[in-house]
Structure 1
Amino acid sequence: MSQKIEGKISFINHDKQYAMIDYEEGNKKKTVRVSIDDKTQKQMKEKNLIKKIHHFMIGDVVSFVVKLSDRGDRMVAVGTEFLYNNALDVLINKSFLNNKFIGYLKIADDKYFVKEIDSYLFFPVPFSPWQLLPTNEELNEQVNFSLENVAKKEKIFATLFDNKYIPEFEQAVKLFKTKTPVEATVFKVTPHAIHLNIVGNKIQAKIPFEEATLVGNKINVLITYLGKSKIAVEKIV
């Protein structure tokens, strides 16, 4: 492969999963397109063309190779690897002092992002399976958020301050905090686990398999852990 050159990402289309890289060659400013979808990056990693998959942002300084596209109609960037992003470093350093930021909620390819108001950097916003998703009216509105997993830049994400959950989750929170036993209903039995409805059929968990357990059986359990996307229970003997 040709020698890599450096450039900076100046534009990202999150819907179509591509970015534009500005770079200089022979004292001339040029721009080249690069695909940033997960499938392309995974293929690059499998071919050892990049070391790891990265969530690209505006301002990323990257190294890459320019080549003719497979269709032969334009030049494209391949083997694109993240080097650094000064704007991202500034936000990470700020998060250690005051992890509260303002941004705009966006959606692209059925995934949610928040666009930081000053840097224009996009951060993915994962939602709990028990969370109420934003309405169309809430998109593009200002939100407060914090940055999480800042130790690993390629896996950094945002958490919104104002989160809304389904009523069943709120009930599960009360049961967990008060250590109240729950009469759970078995809805599936596999060779390795018994799957339970804890609160209605919205909050579900599992316990180790036991002989003679049938779908529809009632089992008393205690919620031992409840996070935003994970629950653990144990059988009360």
Structure 2
Amino acid sequence: MESFYLLDAVFAQNCGQSRASRQPIASYIVGGLEANPGDYPWQVGLIESGYLICGGTYVNGNAAGSVKVVTAAHCLSGKNPNPNNYRVVFGMHITTDSTGRVIAQVTGVSKHEQYNSNTFSNDIAVLDFTIGSSDLSSTFASPACLPSRSYYSGEAVVVSGWGTTSEGGSSSSVLRYVWKQMISLAECETTGNAGNLDQSMLCAGEAGKDACQGDSGGPLVAARSGCWELVGVVSWGFGCGRDNYPGVYADAFHLKNWTLSKI
């Protein structure tokens, strides 16, 4: 059985399908409840040197049957990361259980050309693989849809990951999730995040509900018109779940044209 060390740090649609509830439930990654296997089948784990360092989102590529992953640029080392250093796990629920999952070698990395490691502006990247969707048929892995529109303030969204369950705490071996609400950038500028935001970012959350260390690069999704769409990519925040410090994500709709050019 292969396991990884965690760093604290047939459907009507061909994407966005899950058996997870589309209604908010009071649970959260920081100290929260566990997801059920297959609830968030687009969730992947990004591995570097045997360590699960970040999350990511499985999406369809432009070519039929192609597999791509969207993650955060800050999860990848250097301006031109070596794809040989990274693998991705599809269909994983428990990090210590190898049942029903596929581990794929990354063959190409595209980091946003305007990514700024100081400000986390344009914090997005796309990973390439030689495997196709048929190679994942033995797993519950399936892609999320790219966003059809921008978000609105108050929209219900879900973030998931294997990150720490409290600020400075231990990582979870089981996938967890949290329902949050979107916050407009104008409103977010009135919080502790003021002065650190730009149009490539969005904010979501409230005190006690947040992603945390190890969740970076993972999906923030919303249920829209019968399918789950990628709204944001876990990017940065001051602590985890602190009052007046909502989590900050790369805005998947704002960055959609760039993403489409890379998949």
TM-score (norm 1): 0.27
**Highest CA radius of gyration, 1 or 2?**
1
More helix, by proportion:
1
> Per chain length, whose mean CA-contact separation is higher, i.e. which structure has more relative contact order (CA < 8 Å, sep 6+)?
2
More strand, by proportion:
1
